[in-house]
Structure 1
Amino acid sequence: MPCVCGKKCSLLCLFISIWATFQMLLMGMSYSMHSLAFLHSLPLKEHYNSLKEFRTEADNAFRELAIRCYVTAVLYGCFAFISYICLRLRNKQLAATKDAKVHRKRKV
């Protein structure tokens, strides 16, 4: 199976994917706990008729954004896994190539 990218690209994608997975998990946990630090990022209206209406919409927005963060974390985890597989395949191909070169030198 051919690799999609080289060793450096696989390492970079693996690093960024792992970092993004942790970041999305932390953000999802913050949204799940209704952290006020993320209140400004909620898609809410400017004015509400009652506090109950605001709380209901804010709770729904927190829940929706938490789910989005968790789904994104899973996708980044999948990309990290794919990058790891590509890295392993590339290492196996390089090892096989080096073995073949050493084997050819012994015959000559």
Structure 2
Amino acid sequence: MTKARWHITRDGDTLTLSRLATARFDVSASTVLPDGARAAMAHQVRQDMWRALQGLRGFAPAVEVRRQEGGLHVTAGGQVEGRFAKGHVEAAIQEVLDNPACRARWVRYANRGRAVA
């Protein structure tokens, strides 16, 4: 079995992690998190979003992390092939992004190895 490959695109202060070569956001939700390593944050958000939506047929996750104003603006979502209830899926993504336990774990992971001032 081969390891899943993820596409990472960097454009200035924006990093996009996607399953497909070109990220498309048919569904999305956003949040702001404290500053940290963008790639680490994107992988963690993607992982939890996938756990919540793995039953969504034709779903290709994508996460965009943009460093702005001392924080990370995170947009999570992705591409969905076929019919789906957009409002329901976006609410599920927002629920993941608003989960206090997930947020704390993402921030810890994205800041591991950094000196604390």
TM-score under structure 2 length normalisation: 0.28
Q: Which has the higher contact order (CA 8 A, sep 6+)?
A: 1
- Structure exhibiting the larger radius of gyration computed from Cα positions: 1
Higher strand share: 2
Higher helix share: 1
TM-score under structure 1 length normalisation: 0.30
